[in-house]
């Protein structure tokens, strides 16, 4: 379990601050994560990696000469936000373009893609490879849907070596794709992990049993078996991965036996002894074996084996020396640049809505109501944070409550600051949207940013919109979420509650119902629809891999949306009564 923290909501930020303080030789703090303390030479491609915190040495521990130029570091087990990724990439950029790589999770894909598009709009060339090494998370014919686990290291290192060798952006991306195509991983666990402040682990394994095919965010495995001997575990790991040996592999392989947090090195060495024997028996040439912790999951007791199949180009690049806080290989020559990078601001400066647009009297009055609604949202999330975490842990990673709490409280502070500065309703809610998506990160952070931004666009900063304008804003939010997240009705996501909410709101308003009455009816429809997701199998996101575990439990994103819609309905009703 995790024993030491202050406020769990501040854990990731305080961890990053401590990591930077302990590793100032290698990294410096920038909004959203870290970059190299001494930058790469001007004009070359930079490699920016990232993901949720809680996996050290991934991702900040892999920043340094020979490996990453920057790492966007999100909340615990949650993707960094678009703003964080954009800020890290801008700080790392040296004029040759930005190459992104990260594990293939829905929130990471959403936010890294959005940051990439923003950078391209600013004239910065970008490319991306999402790592898909986990053989347990999808079949070979759907390998593009697989998760990224400890195989992140092989892709990151190959891409970084190509960048250091002077490859252009297209060349770096080509090498990374080839490395990803030739990397396979498979893992097991003997116990789950506990997030800071959480009362219990994300999942548990009965004594004497072992979970097979788990995810690094605590997602349950695809099955259980009796705990084997060390040799038996080695045989399971090796046989599973050799069954997926790439057709073009020539027999050179880098094995990485990765500890997930609390498995002792001595135990892993016993396992690796048999792994090495089995690889030799298969006629393989073992290159540069790794045994240690490369991608962890807090204190999860477990291990994974990665096999990285080399070719001539990858083998040469693999010899590139690396020197980072947590990972070193070979002797690194003097750095690309002898000039330390300029100090960076410690606060986020990547906000697209930094300007306060003053509202007229009507809109400033409405901004007070907007802030009150955001207050109600934050209070509702606080009241249900543990419930949301438990629901998410059934087939996901258990961070939905924490992420929603961080996002809603950031939105609350931003809304009140904007309102106090004289902002109109649209600007007040737009500031809340940016703060929510930036602070929460992950899929839900990105999608709630889309929802609030779309509704803000319907409010305006002058006058008071009528009920139909608000309904149109919610409809635009629904379209935005479906376009951004690619989910549809029946996928067991927040869309299953959002679509009925928007439809009922528009229908009620069209019949002449006042906004508060129409909203109350729509919230009831969302609540019913969210409860009905309990019977669905998930077709999107992390829960897709372990869909059977979630049957009987509502989707946490749909459930939280229904809770929030209900709470905002109470604020609207109270406001209507007060004004009448």
For 48, 309, 368, the CA distances from 94, given in Å and listed in that order, are 12, 31, 44
Helix-then-strand count for the chain, H and E: 17, 15
At 346, the pLDDT band (50, 70, 90 cuts) reads very low
The 10 Å Cβ neighbour count of residue 10 is 13
Which residue bears the tokens 């396992």?
271
- Quick check: helix, strand or coil at residue 72? strand
Residues of the chain with CATH 3.30.1180.20: 182-311
Give catalytic status of residue 400 as yes or no. no
Q: Are the C-beta atoms of 8 and 402 separated by less than 8 Å?
A: yes
Distance CA 491, CA 494 (A): 9
Does position 72 have pLDDT exceeding 80, yes or no?
A: yes
CATH architecture for segment(s) 1-164+171-180: 3-Layer(aba) Sandwich (3.40)
pLDDT at 543: 53
Does position 338 have pLDDT exceeding 50, yes or no?
A: no
pLDDT at 375: 97
Distance CA 503, CA 513 (A): 14
At 343, the pLDDT band (50, 70, 90 cuts) reads very low
Taking residues 46-65, report their average pLDDT: 96
Distance CA 171, CA 20 (A): 31
Label residue 64 left, alpha or beta by phi (over 0 means left) and psi (-120 to 50 means alpha).
Answer: left
pLDDT at 347: 40
Taking residues 317-331, report their average pLDDT: 96
Taking residues 121-134, report their average pLDDT: 97
Q: Are the C-beta atoms of 260 and 304 separated by less than 8 Å?
A: yes
Which residue bears the tokens 């949650």?
78
Instruction: Write out 181-228 in H/E/C secondary structure.
Output: HCEEEEEEEEECCCCCCCCCCCCCCCCCEEEECCCCCCCCCCEEEECC
pLDDT at 125: 98
Q: What is the pLDDT of residues 529-563, one digit of tens each?
A: 999 999 988 876 555 555 566 788 899 999 999 99
Q: Give which of 524, 556, 530, 531 is closest to 541, Cα–Cα.
A: 556
Does position 335 have pLDDT exceeding 90, yes or no?
A: no
Q: Which CATH number fits domain 361-579: 1.10.3720.10, 2.40.50.140, 1.25.40.340, 2.70.98.70?
A: 1.25.40.340
Q: Which residue has the higher pLDDT, 333 or 373?
A: 373
At 74, the pLDDT band (50, 70, 90 cuts) reads very high
pLDDT at 329: 95
Residues of the chain with CATH 3.40.50.10440: 1-164+171-180
Q: Give which of 150, 147, 173 is closest to 160, Cα–Cα.
A: 173
Does position 350 have pLDDT exceeding 50, yes or no?
A: no
The 10 Å Cβ neighbour count of residue 204 is 12
**Does an H or E element contain 170, and which?**
helix 169-181
At 192, the pLDDT band (50, 70, 90 cuts) reads confident
* E-strand stretches of 43-182: 46-53, 70-76, 98-103, 126-131
Residues of the chain with CATH 1.25.40.340: 361-579
* Four-CA torsion 217, 219, 223, 226, nearest 10 degrees: 50
Q: Are the C-beta atoms of 147 and 215 separated by less than 8 Å?
A: yes
Percent of the chain with pLDDT over 90: 77
CATH topology for 182-311? Answer: Hypothetical Protein Tm841; Chain: A;domain 3 (3.30.1180)
* Residue among 55, 86, 93, 217 flagged as catalytic: 217
pLDDT at 67: 98
Q: What is the pLDDT of residues 421-476, one digit of tens each?
A: 999 999 999 999 999 999 888 888 999 999 999 999 999 999 999 999 999 999 99
């Amino acid at each position: 379990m995790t024993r030491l923290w202050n406020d769990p909501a501040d854990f990731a930020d305080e961890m990053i601050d401590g990591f930077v303080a302990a590793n100032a030789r290698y990294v410096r703090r920038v909004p959203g994560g870290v970059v190299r303390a001494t930058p790469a030479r001007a004009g070359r491609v930079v490699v920016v990696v990232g993901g949720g915190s809680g996996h050290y040495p991934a991702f900040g521990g892999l920043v340094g000469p020979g490996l990453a130029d920057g790492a966007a570091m999100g909340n615990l087990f949650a993707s960094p936000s678009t703003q964080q990724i954009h800020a890290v990439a801008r700080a790392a950029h040296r004029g040759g373009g930005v190459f992104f790589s990260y594990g293939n999770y829905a929130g990471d894909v959403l936010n890294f893609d959005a940051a990439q598009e923003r950078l391209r709009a600013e004239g910065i060339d970008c490319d991306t490879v999402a790592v898909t090494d986990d053989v347990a998370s999808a079949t070979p014919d759907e390998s593009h849907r697989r998760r990224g686990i400890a195989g992140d290291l092989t892709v990151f290192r190959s891409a970084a070596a190509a960048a250091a060798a002077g490859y252009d952006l297209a060349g770096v991306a080509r090498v990374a794709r080839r490395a990803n195509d030739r990397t396979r991983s498979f893992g097991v666990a003997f116990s789950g992990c506990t997030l800071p402040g959480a009362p219990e682990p994300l999942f548990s394994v009965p004594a004497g049993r072992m979970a097979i095919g788990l995810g690094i965010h605590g997602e349950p495995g695809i099955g259980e078996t009796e705990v084997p001997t060390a040799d038996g575990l080695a045989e399971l790991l090796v046989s599973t991965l050799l069954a997926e040996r790439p057709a073009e592999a020539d027999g050179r392989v880098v094995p990485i036996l990765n500890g997930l947090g609390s498995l002792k090195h001595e135990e892993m060495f016993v396992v690796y002894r048999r792994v090495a024997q089995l690889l030799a028996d298969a006629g393989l040439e073992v290159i540069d074996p790794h045994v240690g912790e490369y991608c962890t999951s807090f204190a999860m007791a477990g291990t994974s084996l990665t096999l990285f199949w080399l070719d001539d180009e990858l083998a040469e690049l693999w010899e590139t020396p690396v020197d980072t806080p947590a990972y070193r290989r070979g002797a690194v020559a003097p750095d690309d640049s002898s000039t330390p990078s300029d100090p960076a601001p410690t606060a986020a400066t990547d906000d697209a809505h930094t300007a306060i647009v003053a509202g007229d009297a009507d809109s400033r009055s409405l901004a007070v109501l907007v802030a009150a609604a955001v207050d109600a949202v934050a209070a509702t999330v606080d009241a249900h944070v543990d419930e949301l975490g438990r629901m998410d842990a059934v087939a996901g990673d258990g961070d939905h409550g924490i992420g929603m709490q961080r996002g809603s409280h950031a939105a609350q502070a931003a809304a009140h600051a904007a309102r106090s500065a004289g902002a109109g309703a649209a600007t007040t809610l737009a500031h809340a949207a940016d703060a929510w998506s930036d602070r929460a990160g992950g899929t839900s952070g990105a999608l709630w940013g889309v929802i609030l931004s779309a509704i803000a666009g319907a409010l305006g900063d002058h006058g008071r919109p009528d009920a139909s304008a608000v309904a149109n804003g919610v409809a635009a939010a629904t379209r935005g979420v479906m376009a951004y997240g690619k989910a549809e009705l029946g996928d067991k996501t927040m869309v299953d509650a959002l679509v009925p909410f928007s439809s009922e709101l528009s229908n009620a308003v069209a019949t002449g119902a006042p906004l508060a009455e129409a909203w109350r009816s729509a919230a009831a429809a969302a609540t019913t629809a969210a409860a009905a997701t309990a019977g669905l199998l998930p077709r999107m996101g992390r829960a897709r891999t372990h869909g059977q575990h979630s049957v009987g439990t509502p989707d946490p994103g749909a459930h939280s949306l229904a809770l929030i819609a209900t709470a905002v309905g109470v604020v609207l009703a109270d406001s209507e009564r007060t004004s009448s």
